[in-house]
Structure 1
Amino acid sequence: MSNGTSTSQYINAVRMNNFNQADGIIVTEHPLPNTLSQAWRLMYEKNVFAWVILDTQPENEDTLKLYPPLLSEGESLQFEHLHIRSEDTVQYEDFRKIRVTLALRRSTASPTHIMYIYYLNGWPNNSDIPIDNIALIKLLDHIHHCNPSANQPIVFTCSDGVKACGVAATLENVLQRIQLQGEVDIYTAVQRILSARPQFITSW
C-alpha cells in the first residue's frame, strides 16, 4: 500500500479534439511526485479510457525520484479523495497493459471507474520517434478495438509533455479518420495538433 499527498493543484495538461470527439485527447507531461494525485484525479473526473505512457525513462535512482511510477503491478494507491488499484497486467509484444480500478474514497454512491494504462516499448526519452514506428500503430489499434465507440478520452504522456505526445496525438487523428472515413489526411491532422499547441510538431 502506498500513500500520496500533493502540495500543488497544477497539472500541465492540454485538451484537444480527436477526429470525431471534442476533447477526445488529453496530453500531459509525466506526473511529478507532487502532481501524481492530481493526475490520477484527472483520469477519474474525465472518465479516461486509456493512459498511454509513450517514452521510456532510464531506470536509475535520480529518474525514479523525478518521475515516480504511476502504479506498479498488484499495487494500490490511496490519495485524499481517491483509491486506485491495479487489477491485472497483460504483456504484449510492443506494449504492456494494466487494468486499473478507481473509486472515490468515503463515497459508496459514486461509480467505480475502470481504465487502462499502456506502456509503449522502445521509445527512449531522448528520441524524437520510437525505435519501431509500427509499435505505436499497433498500440493505438488495440485501444480502438477495446473502445470502438471512442466516447472516452485517451491521455498521452511523455517526459516533457510535448515531443512524443505530439507525434502520438497526430497519429491518433490520422488513424481515426482512416477508420471512420477511409481517408488519409496527414496535413489536416497536423494542423489540428498545431492549433492546440504549436510545440507539439517541430518538423514534418
Structure 2
Amino acid sequence: MSIKVLLADDQALVRGALAALLGLERDIDVVGEVGRGDEVLAAVRRTGAEVALLDIEMPGMSGIDVAEQLSREEPSCRALVVTTFGRAGYVRRALEAGARGFVVKDTPASELAEAVRRVHSGLRVIDPTLAAESLYEGVNPLSPREREVLREALTGAPVASIAAQVYLSPGTVRNHLSSAIGKTGTTTRMEAARVAQDNGWL
C-alpha cells in the first residue's frame, strides 16, 4: 500500500518539485496539494492523507499551528515540517505542537522520501544539524505574552497600538517588552523582536 501524502506550501513551484520527487517513489502517492495552512485539515479529510508535508510560513495558518490542529483533530495524519526556515527554535515549537518530523527543503530527495516513511511508521525525524542546535540553544526564554507583544512590535507599531491589539494596558505592554529586551540581550523592542524572530521564538 502506498503512503498517502498531502503537500502544503504557498509556493506552487516548491509543491510541484516536491510532488515530482516524491512521485518517483513506488510506495508514496501524493494525493493532494494546498497553498494555505487553513486548507490543510479539510484536504486531509477529503484525501485520507496519512502524512502532511507542511511549510512553516503560509497564509491562513502557520505550519506549526497546522501540526497542532492535525494532532488534535486528525491524529491519523502525521505532520512533517519541510521548510527553508531552518531555525532551531522552530524545531522545538513544531515538535511541541505535535509534528513528527522537521527537515529543511534542501534535504536530498532520497532522504526526504525516507523521512516520509519513518514519520508514517510512527518514528520522529529531525534534521541532525537543527536537532543539535536546538539542544544547544535550549528552551525558548519568552513567555506567550512576550511573544505576542514582540510579534506586534515587528510591525513598528507604537506601544498604544500594540496594547490595543493584544488587549493589555500600555504599562503592561511596556513591562513585557522590557522583559523580552532583557531576555534577548538587546536594547530596543525592534531588536528584541528581530532576535526572537531569527531564533524561531515567535
Q: Report if TM-score (shorter chain) is over 0.5.
A: no
Please state which structure has a larger fraction of its residues in helix. Answer: 2
TM-score (ref. length: structure 2): 0.31
Please state which structure has a larger fraction of its residues in strand. Answer: 1
TM-score (ref. length: structure 1): 0.31
Bigger RCO (CA 8 Å, 6+ sep): 1
